[in-house]
Amino acid sequence: MNGIQLDPRIKILLLFVANVLLFLDSWAVVTYVYMAVLAMVLLFSGCYKSIFVFGIYGAILLGIDYWIFPTAPKALSILFSISVNYSLKMFPCLMSGVLLITTTSFHEIVLAMRKCHLPQKIIITLSVTIRYFPAIFEEIRHIHNAMKLRNIPLSGKFECFVVPFMMAATTTAEELSAAAITRGIENPAKKTSMVQLCFGYIDYFVLLVEAGFIFAAFVL
Amino acid sequence: MSEQTKSLKLTGKDLINIGIFSAIYFILSFIGMFLGSIPILWILMPGVIAILAGIPFMFLCAKVQKPGVPLLMGLITGLLYYITGQFTMVILITFVIGCVLSEAVRWSTKYESFRGNTVAFILFSYGMAGSPLPMWLFKESFFAQISEQGLSDTFVETLNNVATTSMLFVLLLSPIVGGLIGAFIAKMIFKKHFVKAGMI
């Protein structure tokens, strides 16, 4: 990634503010302005592709909401209106989430959490959870392929899926903990890191903007 | 398990176990949440999630017989829900209550008994009941709010017809029924496979 690099803590804060705006259900204009700010940040961080994708996706959703729903059959709009509306509302969260994931390494996120003095237990559990998501889908694909190969009838599908899936999860847990313990996960001493985090001018500037949004969300 | 390893503090291995099964639980509850975009299933959602997630939760409880499992799991799933923007104030409250009660039940049943864990699972499942609960808690303002948010009138109307007192009982009963079914499925699978394989 080229372009400016924000501090990971600031990126987490961007995500947090996006959620606060959603949580407080604040005035729509504030949310739209926030989306514009996020788009700017994405642009300056060099994520041109995600801006493009978000632009198209957002335009499609708005189009569906304004033109298709009023004319569509009743049942269809009942089924889909909630998902379209949710997706639109979640746009700021998605954008800041993408910013966080694409421009930060996982190590930096863990470091940021550590700098924010989160308890070690929560950091370990949370990082394992987030890292395990891609593995889940991989596991599912493998099991699916194996079932196809053996021609498992529909009645046996559930059992043949659940058992290896749970087995795989346990094995992963065993292996991961063996690796982590060797690397000193249970060492109570303060951990050091090669990467050092510190705020630059831009970080303070974004922080100020964030504070402005929080203020706006509560007042308006 | 030997006596020596029976300490009640969570080790790194336990934390990793909790992390992995929280990921599975989150995916399953997300599926339940997604099904919830159909009004009727929204009310049954806590029960549906309980049926889906019975196996991972009971498995984790059997594996990690120490305090803090439902609390940490609730915290992680809550945090992930918060990040994905699905959280409301009511869910937060029910989540906390569900996790604390579930923890208390596990504590009083010494973490080992399957029945105790089942009750703990049912209480844990009540956490998600906070999602449709605003329909009854603040009926007027809730419906005013969602129609203002631009949900179609037909959707709001369907929900309004569903939000009767008898449906409230359905909502409150669904975690119990779902939890029992989920625990029952888990028990069958455990007995048939995991106990023999020495995994629990």
Q: What is the pLDDT of residues A152-192, one digit of tens each?
A: 888 888 889 999 999 999 999 999 999 998 988 888 888 88
**3-class SS of residue A7:** coil
Q: In whole numbers, what is the pLDDT of chain A averaged over residues?
A: 85
pLDDT at A145: 92
B198: chain A residues, CB-CB within 8 Å: none
B199: chain A residues, CB-CB within 8 Å: 166-167, 170
Residue count of chain B, please give it.
200
Q: Which residue has the tokens 């993408």?
A: A98
- What is the reported pTM? 0.86
Round to whole Å and give the CA distance between A143 and A156. Answer: 13
Residue B72: band (very low, low, confident or very high) from pLDDT cuts 50, 70, 90: very high
- Tell whether the model's pLDDT for residue A52 goes beyond 80: yes
Closest CA to B133 of B93, B161, B73, B96: B93
pLDDT at B1: 42
A27, two tokens: 């005035």
**Higher pLDDT residue, A199 or A77?**
A199
Residue A92: band (very low, low, confident or very high) from pLDDT cuts 50, 70, 90: confident
**Higher pLDDT residue, B58 or B145?**
B58
B36: in domain: yes
Q: How far is A156 from chain B (nearest CA, A)?
A: 12
Question: How much of chain A is helix, strand and coil, in % rounded to 5?
Answer: 80, 0, 20
| Residue A35 neighbours by CB under 8 Å, 6+ apart | A91, A92, A95
Q: Which domain does B184 fall in, by range?
A: 10-194
pLDDT at B26: 93
pLDDT at A198: 85
- Tell whether the model's pLDDT for residue B4 goes beyond 60: no
Q: Are B93 and B48 in contact (CB under 8 A)?
A: no
Closest CA to B26 of A129, A156, A96: A129
- Tell whether the model's pLDDT for residue A95 goes beyond 70: yes
pLDDT at A187: 82
Q: Are B51 and B95 in contact (CB under 8 A)?
A: no
The answer to whether B12 contacts A125, with C-beta atoms less than 8 Å apart, is: no
The answer to whether B13 contacts A167, with C-beta atoms less than 8 Å apart, is: no
Q: In whole numbers, what is the pLDDT of chain B averaged over residues?
A: 86
Q: Are A95 and A18 in contact (CB under 8 A)?
A: yes
B58-80: buried (b, 16+ CB within 10 Å) or exposed (e) per residue? bbbbbbbbbbbbbbbbbbbbbbb
Give the max Cα distance, chain B: 62
Looking at the structure of chain B, the number of domains it has is 1
Round to whole Å and give the CA distance between B94 and A84. Answer: 26
B4: in domain: no
Q: Which of B20, B75, B89 sits opposite A122 (nearest CB)?
A: B75
Round to whole Å and give the CA distance between B51 and A189. Answer: 42
pLDDT at A86: 72
Concatenating the DSSP letter of every residue in A22-87 gives: HHHT--HHHHHHHHHHHHHHHHHTT-HHHHHHHHHHHHHHHHIIIIITTTS-HHHHHHHHHHHHHH
A77: chain B residues, CB-CB within 8 Å: 152, 154-155
Mean pLDDT over A192-216 rounds to 87
Highest mean pLDDT among A36-40, B121-125, B127-131: B121-125
Q: Are A85 and A65 in contact (CB under 8 A)?
A: yes
- Tell whether the model's pLDDT for residue A65 goes beyond 60: yes
Residue B6: band (very low, low, confident or very high) from pLDDT cuts 50, 70, 90: low
Mean pLDDT over B177-193 rounds to 93
Tell me which DSSP letter residue A191 carries: P
pLDDT at B200: 73
Q: Which residue has the tokens 């009926």?
A: B139
Q: Which of B22, B59, B149 sits opposite A166 (nearest CB)?
A: B59
pLDDT at A26: 63
pLDDT at A27: 66
Q: Are B39 and B135 in contact (CB under 8 A)?
A: no
CA torsion B186→B189→B193→B199, rounded to 10°?
-10
Residue B48: band (very low, low, confident or very high) from pLDDT cuts 50, 70, 90: very high
Mean pLDDT over A55-81 rounds to 76
Mean pLDDT over A109-130 rounds to 90
The answer to whether A125 contacts B15, with C-beta atoms less than 8 Å apart, is: yes
Round to whole Å and give the CA distance between B122 and B102. Answer: 8
**3-class SS of residue B200:** coil
A15: chain B residues, CB-CB within 8 Å: 83
- Tell whether the model's pLDDT for residue A79 goes beyond 70: no
**3-class SS of residue B99:** helix
Asked if A173 is an interface residue toward chain B (Cβ–Cβ < 8 A), one would say: yes
Round to whole Å and give the CA distance between A169 and B100. Answer: 26
Round to whole Å and give the CA distance between B50 and A32. Answer: 37
**Higher pLDDT residue, B151 or A181?**
A181
Q: Which of A10-19, A26-35, B75-84 has the lowest mean pLDDT?
A: A26-35
Round to whole Å and give the CA distance between B57 and B124. Answer: 10
- Tell whether the model's pLDDT for residue B81 goes beyond 80: yes
**10 Å Cβ neighbour count for B21?**
29
Closest CA to B54 of B178, B195, B199: B178
Tens of pLDDT, residues B93-120: 999 999 999 999 999 998 888 999 999 9
